[in-house]
Amino acid sequence: MYDVFAHNFGTAVLLKHLTDVRSSVEKLINLNSEPEATNLLEQIKDLIAVTTSIDDLATQERRKSSEYLRLLSPKDHVYLQSVNSSTAAIVQDCVELIEPLRGGLDDLRSTREREAVEIIYQDSRLAEFGWFRETFQDLQLRTAVLQVMLSAMNFLRHKNDTDEEGNISAEARSLASMLQYEIASVKPKLHGTSRQRTEKLQRALAAAIGVTLAVPMSLNKHFILGRSVKSFYTGRERQMAQLKEAFEDTAYSGQKRFVIFGLGGSGKTELALKFAVDFMQNYWGVFFLDGSSRKSAAGSYSEIAKIGGVEPNEKAAKNWLTTRALPWLLIIDNADDDEVQLDDLLPPGLHGSILVTSRNPAHKSYGTVGQRYLELQSMERGEANELILRAAEEPTPYATSAIEAASNICSTLGFLPLALIHAAKAILLGLCTWHGYLPFYERHIQRIRHERLQQRSRSPSQHRKRSNEDDHSMNVFSSYEILYQSLESSHLQSYQDAVELLHLFSYLHFQNIRLDIFINAANNPSIEADYTKKEAIELQNNLAKLRKRAKANHESRTVRSISWSKWLRTLVHQVLRHFDTPALLPAILKCPDGLDAETFREEIQDRLNMALAVLVSRSLVMKLDRHENRCSMHPLVHKWVRERPEMSASQQALWCQLAATTLATSVLFPPPLGNTEFDRSMRRELRQHVIHVRECQRTVDERLMKNRALRRSVWPVIETNFGRHRAVEAVRFSRIYSECTDYNEAFQLQSKVRTFVVNALGEDHQLSITISLLLAGSLWDLSRVSECTKLLRRLYEICAASLGLDHPLSLKVSDSLASILFFQGHLAESLALHQATVDGMVTLYGEENENTLKAKNNLARVHRTFMDDEKAAELHLTAWEGMRRLLGEAHMDTLDCLEGLAMTRLRLDAKYHIECHDHMQFILDERRKTLGKEQNFTLIAVCNLGQVKSALGHHEEAAKIMEPTIRIAERNLDEDHFGISWGKCHYGRVLVQLQRYEEAEEILTEAADMRYFRKVTDGGEHPDRIFVMWCLASCFKEQKKFREALETCELIVQALQSIGRGGTKHKMAEMVHEEIAALKLSINSQLQASEP
């Protein structure tokens, strides 16, 4: 392999010529700039860059042949030799082009200098010289081909890299994909140029194409679709060719977009999915976005964001896609709603390919490539016949009678693919014969029309709009109804289960429906009951322990006995619950009497699998993957199940409630149940289903209210739809919203639940307090810190009066209140409350308890802020060691304790710095893996790691990781978020160490802006802002701006006084006074030095 790079490519000679010609171009631009000269300069720079990279690679391999190249096969050696030979030939070509170019440019410059022209006339512009245009084009082509050669070399060097599972590494896949992308970009450019001028380039490209044959596996890294393509997909070759031609368009340099529009059921989604499958090799990533509603689109973007390892929100996902250099395809499916602006769904920028499917013809204006859009109409007769015959699994060769019957059925059903598939399944399942299908179909369509007419006569206004839309869908609905009736009329258990499942699916979102939802809903009640029983016993034991201790020590009772009024309210509530209707669950999920839990789980799994198989066999639902129990429904069928003419408002309400209860019950509650990462991931996938079922609930509730209002009655209509069951749903759904960072929706639900519970049980009931704690958490997440503090203070008062301060719930409230007081800067109050909480938890739970250890970690933070680092480090160490034993070293709570320990020891003693670096790197790696690259705690870990690197003297490295992290925070968070100031402060400190004083001063001044702290204070000062000002004063001092530093320190003194006892007794107060004295001496010295 050493021989392959034994001779240089001539790159050194070329680089010398390029440096000279660059100088000539710059002189020409200085004389009188023109666009052609500027473009030439950029082209020369590009050629220098790629030539330098090739020269560096060759030099590196000549000096020491890499392990990469020694692992290549003999065949790969041949590929590399061919690439290198072509590279040397093109480099020589470039030299031959550059020499006369320099001469021509120097002559032109001399002429202009001699004639001293002020204006470049039209006939003297570079663009007017034929030699310039031809040379410029040749250099462009050769630069592009040299880049392909470099990519080919790099790929061959890394093609044998593998990951832990033995598959080709991510870097090798990326290099291979980039190589294919570059080849596809250059190829068309060579076809438009004469063979004589491109002969060497054609040979070079052929060598690169040969290298692509060495790619051992799929180049596509991400392939995420809503579902798989049907196995009997047929036809649409002409339309597929149209899509292929559009996305291969190299003339268009912007974002490539194409729109497929047409009738519902015409196969738009199927065509889009088929295109993605057939051409996945052209794309590094293929992604799917549900465009049926704004909320669904946001949910899809959150899933894409998780794939990219960024914060799970739409903004971060769009940014991630936009910044990918490799080609990607995004399918935006079902963008039908007029209220959804397609502009809002599109990622910004010039990158990527986007395929849109819609029933809205107005969206065709968004197409940018090829013919820009395609109206997908009914299938051609031959394609339709083939589809229905294949879907019905008719043996080949097809019988003439079957072909004739199929043709008649296709004609009657309007050649709509979805209707044809349902008809084929009816025949395949033996519900009717080929010749008996049409009479069967006609009877069903007449019944449906009759039912619709009756509904319209009963409620004309409700059906006026429906009568004018989707009349063509009658063919689909009728063919579907035949299959549905066959299930409903059967007495088989699996068929009845299938009907039930179908109705439940119709109230969930139509994409990504997991059977796990139903399995969890069946199993969770017993898990929760066991947990509740265990917690109740533990609570009684703890309370008995406290009372016993109080009695032995002759202490006043710190745990209150339940008051008579509260006891009565609880008793009434329990009686009402006894007579209340139990939570609705589908029959398939109810446990028969006498069945043990394990047997019930197995039975549920079997029944669900059999029911799903029945639905899949009729194409009423589609499995997303053969090996996973995930499925989807066509939007038309999904809607029809909910709105069948036979479906009354009360039936809709029943099925909707069953679906909502199932969803809610699938969420384990209360925490800490369901606290594993697997559970959290599962809940995040439920968000789109929760959104859909709640929208359905609102629609059904409105319909019921209208129906009640139409009934003549002397009694007023009272809305009573938010009862105990809806409250239970709401609090469980709020957990999903909160974990999906939709904090406002979580807050709205929790507020409603709290109002309901407080009205029913009183503010001092333990359930009311527990719900209020959840609400406080949402207020915190929304940065509504003052409201959160006010609520927690009220809860603390209630707990003190009704439960006693040593009650477990009171300790939880006091810990939360102390934490938020610390965040607001009320340090003295926070310290006292945290210490009392720790003492109470040690007495109640002991030292080795998760609650106690968390409380100690919180207390350590306050000590650290008081600069009592030894005490803080001791507490952090105790908390970390205990949490590591209880939860494991990678648990998020354990990492939080370790982070506190690392950052405290960083300030405590330089001997800990290496250890702190190792700890912070471990924390960052674990958070990236579990939470994602852009989650807030991950960003904090990056900035903390930057601080450690700077303490070790690696200031450049620290700045390199901190600067982009702050940009991410500014993009993802509110512009006035407290965390942005924190990040800028520590980044500014690093810039001071790098002596980039002007940048540091600007950033620290910005970080000290009061707008960052208004939400987290009561209107006064905040300790963290004081720290920012201290850093700013240090920056001024380093620049010898002693007056500015003095003014800043004097402001710090005022600020410390404004935050009360926690400020005036703070160690920083002494430090600031000492600094003021030193600064005054420096100012006097400056004045004396300036005197003559």
Low-confidence ranges of the chain (pLDDT < 70): 1-8, 31-33, 63-72, 112-130, 161-168, 170, 192-197, 214-219, 226, 449-476, 550, 553-583, 593-594, 625-628, 709-721, 1019, 1060-1065, 1091-1092
* Residue 720: per-residue pLDDT: 54
Kindly provide the b/e burial profile for residues 996-1013, where b requires at least 16 CB atoms within 10 angstroms of the residue's own CB: eeebbbebbbbbbeeebb
Write the DSSP symbol of residue 65.
Answer: -
Task: Read off the tokens for 912.
Answer: 């800990």
Helix axes 677-710, 516-552, angle to 10 degrees: 100
**C-alpha of 7 from chain center:** 49
* pTM for the full predicted model: 0.72
Write the DSSP symbol of residue 366.
Answer: G
Q: If we measure between CA atoms, which residue out of 369, 320, 360 comes closest to residue 340?
A: 360
Signed CA dihedral, 587, 592, 597, 602: sign only: negative
**C-alpha of 848 from chain center:** 37
Just give the CATH number of 973-1092.
Answer: 1.25.40.10
Q: How far is CA 772 from CA 750, 779, 790, 815, in A?
A: 8, 10, 12, 14
- Per the listing, tokens 């990492």 go with 895
d(CA 272, CA 332): 9
Please report which helix (H) or strand (E) contains residue 145, including its range.
Answer: helix 130-158
Neighbours of 596 (CB within 10 A): 9
Instruction: Give helix then strand counts, H and E, for the chain.
Output: 43, 9
Amino acid at 723: G
* Bridge partners, 256 (sequence order): 353
Q: If we measure between CA atoms, which residue out of 468, 469, 486, 476 comes closest to residue 412?
A: 476
* Bridge partners, 373 (sequence order): 259
- Judged on CB neighbours under 10 Å (0-12, 13-18, 19+), 711 is exposed
865-970 and 222-376 share a CATH fold: no
Task: Read off the tokens for 734.
Answer: 């709020």
In the three-class reduction of DSSP (H, G, I as helix; E, B as strand; rest coil), residue 526 is classed as helix
Backbone dihedral angles phi then psi of residue 803, each to the nearest 5 degrees: -115, -30
Radius of gyration of the chain (CA): 36
Q: How far is CA 580 from CA 50, 522, 574, 726, 1056, in A?
A: 76, 21, 10, 13, 58
* Residue 567: per-residue pLDDT: 46
Out of 1.10.10.1100, 3.40.50.300, 3.40.30.10, 3.30.70.100, the CATH code matching 222-376 is 3.40.50.300
* Distance in angstroms between the alpha carbons of the first and the last residue of the chain: 74
Amino acid at 1001: E
- Judged on CB neighbours under 10 Å (0-12, 13-18, 19+), 786 is middle
Task: Read off the tokens for 355.
Answer: 């395929």
Kindly report the length of the chain.
1092
- Per the listing, tokens 């959840």 go with 774
Task: Read off the tokens for 664.
Answer: 């809610």
β-strand 256-262 against 353-358: which pairing, if any?
parallel
In the chain, where the domains are located: 2-212, 222-376, 381-459+473-489, 865-970, 973-1092
d(CA 381, CA 370): 26
Q: How far is CA 523 from CA 589, 596, 597, 794, 950, in A?
A: 9, 11, 8, 37, 52
**CATH class (in words) of the domain with range 865-970:** mainly alpha
In the three-class reduction of DSSP (H, G, I as helix; E, B as strand; rest coil), residue 804 is classed as coil
